[in-house]
A and B are shown apart, each in its own frame.
Chain A
Amino acid sequence: MSSGICFCNSQGGLFKIGENALLQMRAYVQDDPGKAEAGGVLLGRFIVDSADIVVDQVTIPMPGDKRSRHRFFREAKNHQAMIDRRWNQSKHRCNYLGGWHTHPEPNPTASKTDIRDWKRALRQNQFDSETLYFVIVGTQEVSAWEGNRHTRLIKELMSIPDQEN
């Protein structure tokens, strides 16, 4: 594995957070009481001829977003502009995959607010796939959930242990 994190998705493929995206998110780890929650959207590829999905980059807090120790509000406008730009640049191959945010806990769990927000995203957002992915970056672990647009079921994904030294 390259330095990224892999999870098993429900389609029998992998959901991989690439090295670059991971570095972008880890820059906001809440490992200090002074650090506020951060978040953004996941951008990446539905790998051709496979069930694999790779997160290549993420958006980071932008003007209009609101951040506090335990809350993050993501204003759609600027993040949408980034989605559109990458989608166009990549000739529609770099796509919106879901969202991410940080938690000031080692092994992140989804809060009620998180689950409600994800279900809302599955209902209200427009996207060309069956699933959305939600990532929470804790102070030690990174966890991921998959949401189904039809059933709106959210389930946590199992991570694949990194086999490199």
Chain B
Amino acid sequence: MADIQKQFEEFNDVVRLKQYEHNANLREKRDVILKKLKERLKVLFEERDDDLPKYTHFDQGSYKLGTGVKPLTGDFDIDVGLLFEVDRDEYRDPVVVKQWVYDALDGHTKKVEMRRPCVTVFYQNGEEPLYHVDLAVYSAADSNFDNKICVGKGKQGSPPENCIWEEADPDGLITVLTGKYSGDDWEQFRRCLRYLKRWKDLKFPTAGNAAPVGIGLTIAAYNWFYPKQKIVDNYAGQTRTDDLGALLDFANAMLCNFNLVFRDGEYAERIEAKLPVVPYGDVFEKMSNQYMTKFKEKLQKLVAVMEEAMKEADPVEACKKLQKVFGDDFPVPERDDTGAKRGPAIITSSHSA
């Protein structure tokens, strides 16, 4: 009813994280790390009189897609892929390759950590996190007989069965995701995904696997988001972009895709977000049944609030409701600004009974 597309677009402008090409600040931070890595790897391999395998880097994650949102805590996340020309048959343990990256960057900041999917370099100002760079280590397709790209999983001390090269297709993933929509539809896809990610950041605890992962929401959008315009004039065929309607439909579609499954000894309602490329796994897999239930409940709440906002005649009230789910960055217009300008009125005296 109330048209609050303008407020959604303002919200988008506030929460959206610009991609590297428009974000010199984050690009510089990424480049500092890459430069450091290059210098230190060279020294490390010289010291042991060994040849450093060639490698290249590429951007991945939400930066590449342009679906990132500004973190609430200010802890920016930069995702980089390092594609090493190493043969998996020669380097059977990916932790060996990850260790090079770790050793090269250890000491660069106060905290560098090898995690199962990547090596993470944390930057902080005192105790306050500023940003962190996740470096995923890949073995290049050309270096392997099977011509497969694999990502190194595992960390120091992991049992050998957990240290594996897992087939991946980072380029293919981007190609598939960006190939679904184009133009205005793609822009709406990205805006709605950003709204949902901000909601996630606000409503879920950050620790563990309590929150649905960003890539999961992205895959969900790939599966179930549909662009939406609302008709404003049937005769003239006039339509207007409708982010609220699009996101509401998308959230409802997600709710419809929770299915009862048997897992961890019980029946639970779960939603899957399977990668559309190898290894085709469900990226929500790590969420426990309990967290899944919470996820569904929060989605239901989100839907209820959006439905209320949609029925609301007063855009001021509609935006106040949406602020409860999207946070204070969602703008509430000034009351008078939402009224159309009209001419003066002159009244006469009146009788009623």
* Residue with the highest number of chain A CB atoms closer than 10 Å, among B240, B320, B335, B351: B351
A93 and B341 contact, CB distance less than 8 A: yes
From known contacts A52-B313, A73-B349, infer whether A1 and B308 are also in contact, taking CB-CB under 8 Å: yes
- CB A141 to nearest CB in B, in angstroms, measures 17
A74 and B350 contact, CB distance less than 8 A: yes
The verdict on B337 contacting chain A, using a C-beta distance below 8 Å, is: yes
A interface, how many residues as a size bin? 35 or more
Mark interface residues in B147-174 (1 if CB within 8 Å of A CB, else 0): 0000000000000000000000000000
The verdict on B207 contacting chain A, using a C-beta distance below 8 Å, is: no
Q: Which residues on the B side are within 8 Å of A84 (C-beta)?
A: 344
Mark interface residues in A1-37 (1 if CB within 8 Å of B CB, else 0): 1101010000001111010000000000000000001
Q: Which A residues between 60 and 107 are near B, CB-CB below 8 angstroms? A: 70-76, 79-80, 83-84, 87, 90-96, 99, 101
**Which of A44, A96, A117 is in CB contact (< 8 Å) with B350?**
A117
Q: Which residues on the B side are within 8 Å of A92 (C-beta)?
A: 341-344
Docked pose: A70 CA to B353 CA in angstroms: 5
B352 and A117 contact, CB distance less than 8 A: yes
Q: Which residues on the B side are within 8 Å of A71 (C-beta)?
A: 351-353
A79 and B2 contact, CB distance less than 8 A: no
The verdict on B56 contacting chain A, using a C-beta distance below 8 Å, is: no
From known contacts A46-B339, A47-B339, A48-B339, infer whether A114 and B353 are also in contact, taking CB-CB under 8 Å: yes
Q: Can you add 16 more A-B contacts, CB < 8 Å, to A80-B346, A93-B338, A96-B345?
A: A6-B313, A13-B1, A15-B313, A44-B339, A46-B340, A47-B314, A72-B351, A76-B350, A83-B347, A87-B345, A90-B336, A92-B341, A92-B344, A94-B336, A114-B353, A117-B351
Question: Which B-chain residue is minimally distant from A72 (CB atoms)?
Answer: B352
Q: Which residues on the A side are within 8 Å of B1 (C-beta)?
A: 13-14, 50, 52
B349 and A75 contact, CB distance less than 8 A: yes
Mark interface residues in B96-135 (1 if CB within 8 Å of A CB, else 0): 0000000000000000000000000000000000000000
Docked pose: A126 CA to B315 CA in angstroms: 27
Docked pose: A49 CA to B238 CA in angstroms: 13
* Residue with the highest number of chain A CB atoms closer than 10 Å, among B311, B345, B348: B345
Docked pose: A148 CA to B240 CA in angstroms: 29
Q: Which residues on the A side are within 8 Å of B272 (C-beta)?
A: none
The verdict on B185 contacting chain A, using a C-beta distance below 8 Å, is: no
Q: Which residues on the A side are within 8 Å of B75 (C-beta)?
A: none
Docked pose: A79 CA to B350 CA in angstroms: 11
The verdict on A155 contacting chain B, using a C-beta distance below 8 Å, is: no
A18 and B351 contact, CB distance less than 8 A: no
From known contacts A47-B338, A56-B335, infer whether A2 and B317 are also in contact, taking CB-CB under 8 Å: yes
Instruction: Report whether over half of chain A's contact residues are helix, strand or loop; otherwise say mixed.
Output: mixed
Question: Which B-chain residue is minimally distant from A6 (CB atoms)?
Answer: B313
- CB B320 to nearest CB in A, in angstroms, measures 8
**Which of A41, A52, A128 is in CB contact (< 8 Å) with B342?**
A128
The verdict on B87 contacting chain A, using a C-beta distance below 8 Å, is: no
Question: Which A-chain residue is minimally distant from B337 (CB atoms)?
Answer: A93
Q: Which A residues between 109 and 165 are near B, CB-CB below 8 angstroms? A: 111, 113-114, 117, 120-121, 124-129, 163
**Which of A1, A6, A47, A101 is in CB contact (< 8 Å) with B352?**
A101
Docked pose: A117 CA to B349 CA in angstroms: 10
Docked pose: A50 CA to B344 CA in angstroms: 21
- CB B260 to nearest CB in A, in angstroms, measures 29
Docked pose: A44 CA to B338 CA in angstroms: 10
Docked pose: A71 CA to B352 CA in angstroms: 6
Q: Which residues on the A side are within 8 Å of B339 (C-beta)?
A: 44-48, 90, 93-95
- CB B343 to nearest CB in A, in angstroms, measures 4
Q: Which residues on the A side are within 8 Å of B320 (C-beta)?
A: 2
The verdict on A54 contacting chain B, using a C-beta distance below 8 Å, is: yes
B347 and A80 contact, CB distance less than 8 A: yes
Docked pose: A18 CA to B343 CA in angstroms: 22
Q: Which B residues between 292 and 344 are near A, CB-CB below 8 angstroms? A: 308, 311-315, 317, 320-321, 335-344
A selection of 12 A-B contacts at a CB cut-off of 8 Å is: A47-B314, A48-B340, A49-B232, A52-B2, A54-B313, A76-B349, A79-B347, A83-B345, A93-B339, A94-B336, A120-B350, A128-B343
